[in-house]
Structure 1
Amino acid sequence: MRRLTLLLLAIRDLLVSAGPVLLLAVGLLAAAYVWLDPQPPKTVRLATGPEGSAYAGFGQRYAQALAREGITVQLVPTEGSVANLQLLQDGDVDVAFVRGGSGAAPVVANASAAASGTAAVTDPNESIQSLGALFYEPLWIFVRSPRGASAPRAPGTLAQLKGLRVNVDQSGSGVPALMQRLLKASGLDAGDVRLSELDAPAAAQALQAGRLDAVVLTSAPQSAVVQRLLRMPGVAPLELTQADAYTRRFPFFRTVTLPRGVADLAADLPPHDVTLLAATTSLLTREQTHPALRQLFAQAAQTIHSRAGWLNGAREFPNTRTSELPVSPEGDRAINGTPAFWQRYLPFWASNLVQRMWLVIGGLIVLLLPLSRVVPPLYTFRVRRRVFRWYARLRQIEARAQDPRVARTALLDELDELDRVANQIAVPLAHADELYALRDNIDTVRQRVLVQRSEGA
């Protein structure tokens, strides 16, 4: 029992001695935790695209990936890339799929000052970052063959669309504005082509029914509408003979090849290689989005987009080479770096806490190491004080012993009481010599009082 008492007293003394340092460390850690906010919110909003689109399909896969880490992804359907970017700029979503070339130009903040050349220019994409380029999104121009023709008509230039009924998707997809730029570059005015803006599924139905001559859309090959149009009888994708020239005029475009038979090997669709214009779709996020969420999306992209596709080889995506906007640190680490070793062994919440707090913890160690040097002296002081506090009482008794008017018997009773108290003092073995010294000094004073009593007798 006495051994347990000694142990508990030693622990108490150690805690009290180290208390100020521990309180400082806990306070600094709590302040750093609040400031860094290492744990992300449990819900994140992802702008996808129309129902049945490649964006919508990829959104479902991201939702499943983040659900395994306890994060709920709210999928926000939109008309397409431009609508996604607008939602991101307005702060209505946290992450979005955005096609290259969808970004808006910088805006003059003060129209009256613009004339004088002193206007401030604001960039709507200033607070937007990329988590990496994900996949190629071709500009599909599906053309229906003329009635009675044995093979689909496939004009080699956009100028040959003159006079045709062409659907250019919904305005939120960005395709109508993009086609206006392409048609203008090809020498066509707005009235030279009969344009409509049906959604992709309705446009495919109208093309099959003969109410349209061509359908233009941008989507990854995984899109259900693209798959349907590639297999639609009498319809073929337009191969632009001037594709390389367009990539020079519109830097966000590049040429990709749709290999022969990739859609259907048995039916040999398409029957020959097709050169297409394609932009790169990126996963964009806001600077205000929690870094841990950006990290989760960037890591999920490695699994979702790293396989070979119709237009790319394995491990070609995700990448940071084709991003139009600055790449966030989380995206760069996930794509070009190696994961920290603790991410392989710790659950997400723990690895994220370590990653966000390790600099703070290291700084605290550097700060507290010098302060920790005061703990051993404080501990020693507390243990010795338990013994030394009784020397004041002993000095009083010794001083009173010099007065002959004080009864010796009363002094001896006080010394006996002090000795009983000293016998109950619990100290670690390392300080037992100080306790025995106190008892020896009590006995010395007792012997002196006894001598005085015998002489007085």
Structure 2
Amino acid sequence: MDSARWSRRRVIGAGVAAAGAALTGCSGDSGPAPRLRLATGPEGGPYNAFGKALARAIAASGRRLEIVPVSTAASVDNLRELDAGSVELALSMADVAADAVLGREPFSRPAAVTALGRIYVNYTHLVVPADGPVQAVRDLAGRTVAAGAAGSGVQVVAGRVLRAAGLSDGPTAARERQLGLAPSVRALRDGEVDALFWSGGVPTPALAALAGDLPLRFLALDGHVGALRERHGPVYTAVTLPEGVYGLAGPVGTIGVGNYLLARAGVPHDAVRDVLQVLFDRWRDLLREVTAGARLEPRFAISTGDVPLHPGAVTHYRSVYG
């Protein structure tokens, strides 16, 4: 990895040592192990599962570090908690993290957060009953859509897709309901909503279980990637739900969004190094909790766009990968 690439990285260095010393248990080798709170997501969700798996992996590694997963509403909530100092680490979708760093809606000002790395990609699912009238996004005009829990990254990407499709206001607006994954699944099964949005790994177990009970149609979304990138930047990519998953007869193009592991700049470098070493040593086990077939590679991990890498992460990647 050449020095020019690293020179393009924006890192936050001022005050790192002073801020790091303020963290509990981070002043030397004696005393309690450093304790870092990790904002994850709702109980039963993929972020929560990943956070718990990472905490177990850190504990099993024998390192002087404790990770404490904290249940939240997910991405938007996590960035606010991280910026406020209520937690030291957080998980977030890339689009929400970029909005936070740049001070864009729903954030009122830039948030001082850094990244440890991009760890995997979420696939946006837009799901409707297979025997219903909805066959494309435009057919959601005037219909009720489960659009993610309040404070979640799902809510952000769902709202942006609906805006790109001209369904966010006026007589053609879809009626958005703020529901998390489990309530969304129940609402679709019971006919209380006409569609649900979800952003997560493939397969998402709750959707795989639903597909076993109710024939489903997954709507193509890749045609909206260009509009999203033009308006919100390159955090959105075209990806494919593969044939066979959820019983799909063929592949379905959709929208991919990266997931970042984030930290306050004051988290000590040694703690960052320990987290990253365990993350790369155990990535197969950790990602099994959230998505099948994903890989964690350094060249993708450092691609965090507008979100600067934590100085300790920069040092780690340089020392290990050159």
Q: Give the TM-score normalised by structure 1.
A: 0.55
- Structure 1 residues 284, 257: closer, same or farther in 2, change over 3 A? same
Letter in 1 for 2:129: R
Structure 1: distance between partners of 2:144 and 2:109: 36
For 2:179, the equivalent position in structure 1 comes to 198
Letter in 1 for 2:177: S
SS of alignment partner, residue 104 of structure 1: helix
| 1:231-310 matches, cutoff 5 A | 231-249=212-230, 250-251=232-233, 252-263=235-246, 269-305=247-283, 310=292
Letter in 2 for 1:258: L
> 1:20-40 CA distances to partner (integer Å, 9 max, x unpaired)?
xxxxxxxxxxxxxx8994448
Alignment match of 2:127 (pick from 131, 138, 142): 142
Please state if 1:124 is matched with 2:97. no
What's the CA shift for 1:79?
A: 0.8
User: Greater RCO between the two (CA within 8 Å, min separation 6)?
Assistant: 2
Aligned partners of 2:146 and 2:178 also within 8 Å: yes
What's the CA shift for 1:337?
A: 4.0
For these two proteins, the number of residue pairs brought into alignment is: 282
What's the CA shift for 1:76?
A: 0.6
Structure 2: distance between partners of 1:325 and 1:105: 6
- Structure 1 residues 242, 203: closer, same or farther in 2, change over 3 A? same
- Normalized per residue, which structure has more helix? 1
Aligned partners of 2:101 and 2:307 also within 8 Å: no
Structure 1: distance between partners of 2:300 and 2:101: 26
- Structure 1 residues 77, 222: closer, same or farther in 2, change over 3 A? farther
What's the CA shift for 1:258?
A: 1.9
- Structure 1 residues 177, 243: closer, same or farther in 2, change over 3 A? closer
SS of alignment partner, residue 171 of structure 1: coil
- Structure 1 residues 106, 317: closer, same or farther in 2, change over 3 A? closer
Q: Which runs of 5+ in 2 are unaligned?
A: 1-20
Please state if 1:186 is matched with 2:152. no
Q: Which runs of 5+ in 1 are unaligned?
A: 1-33, 109-121, 264-268, 341-457
Give the CA RMSD over aligned residues: 3.0
Percent of residue pairs bearing the same amino acid type? 24
- Structure 1 residues 319, 238: closer, same or farther in 2, change over 3 A? same
Select the structure of larger CA radius of gyration: 1
> 1:51-99 CA distances to partner (integer Å, 9 max, x unpaired)?
1111011111111122132433221101111111110010000100010
Query: Runs (4+) of structure 1 moved beyond 6 Å?
Result: none
Aligned partners of 1:167 and 1:203 also within 8 Å: yes
- Structure 1 residues 239, 230: closer, same or farther in 2, change over 3 A? farther
Alignment match of 1:321 (pick from 282, 303, 307): 303
| 1:171-182 matches, cutoff 5 A | 171-182=150-161
Structure 1: distance between partners of 2:267 and 2:114: 10
Letter in 2 for 1:299: Q
> 1:275-328 CA distances to partner (integer Å, 9 max, x unpaired)?
110110000000111222211221222134357964645647861124431112
| 1:401-412 matches, cutoff 5 A | none
Structure 1: distance between partners of 2:212 and 2:139: 23
SS of alignment partner, residue 204 of structure 1: helix
| 1:35-434 matches, cutoff 5 A | 37-39=27-29, 41-68=33-60, 69-102=63-96, 103-104=99-100, 106=102, 124-125=110-111, 127-147=112-132, 153-155=134-136, 158-190=137-169, 192-221=173-202, 223-249=204-230, 250-251=232-233, 252-263=235-246, 269-305=247-283, 310=292, 312-313=294-295, 315=297, 319-335=301-317, 337-338=319-320
Deviates more, 1:49-58 or 1:245-254: 245-254
What's the CA shift for 1:212?
A: 1.3
> 1:373-412 CA distances to partner (integer Å, 9 max, x unpaired)?
xxxxxxxxxxxxxxxxxxxxxxxxxxxxxxxxxxxxxxxx
Q: Give the TM-score normalised by structure 2.
A: 0.77
- Normalized per residue, which structure has more strand? 2
What's the CA shift for 1:180?
A: 2.8
Aligned partners of 1:166 and 1:216 also within 8 Å: yes
